[in-house]
Amino acid sequence: MSAVVSLQNVHKSFGSNQVLKGVSFDIARGQVVAIIGQSGSGKSTALRCIDRLETIDEGHIQVCGHQLDGGKVDLEQLRKDVGIVFQSYNLFPHLTVGRNITLALRHVRKLPRKTCEERARQVLETVGLLEKYDSYPEQLSGGQQQRVAIARSLAMEPQVMLFDEVTSALDPKLTGEVLKVIEKLAEGGMTMVLVTHEMAFARRVADQIVFMHHGQVWETGGPDILVNPQTQELQDFIGNGL
Residue 114 contacts residue 120 (beta carbons within 8 Å): no
Residue 209 contacts residue 225 (beta carbons within 8 Å): yes
The helix/strand/coil state of 67 is strand
Q: pLDDT, tens digit, for every residue of 111-168?
A: 999 999 999 999 999 999 999 999 999 999 999 999 999 999 999 999 999 999 988 8
Helix H or strand E segment including 22: strand 17-28
Helices 97-107 and 113-126 meet at what angle, rounded to 10? 130
For 88-93, what is the mean pLDDT?
90
Residue 177 contacts residue 192 (beta carbons within 8 Å): no
pLDDT band at residue 231 using 50, 70 and 90 as cut-offs: very high
Which residues on adjacent β-strands are paired with residue 13?
18
**CA 52 – CA 123 distance, rounded (Å):** 25
Q: Which domains does the chain have, with CATH numbers?
A: 3-88+160-239 (3.40.50.300)
pTM: 0.92
pLDDT band at residue 241 using 50, 70 and 90 as cut-offs: low
Exposure string of 109-122, with b = 16+ CB inside 10 Å and e = fewer, is: eebeeeebbebbbe
* CA angle in degrees (0–180, nearest 5) for 238-241-242: 85
* Phi, psi angle pair for 206, to nearest 5°: -80, 140
For 69-78, what is the mean pLDDT?
84
For 160-189, what is the mean pLDDT?
90
Instruction: Determine the pLDDT at residue 218.
Output: 97
Least confident of 71-75, 153-157, 221-225, 229-233: 71-75
Instruction: Determine the pLDDT at residue 242.
Output: 45
CA distances from 166 to 40, 111, 182 (A): 17, 28, 10
Q: pLDDT, tens digit, for every residue of 187-197?
A: 999 999 999 99
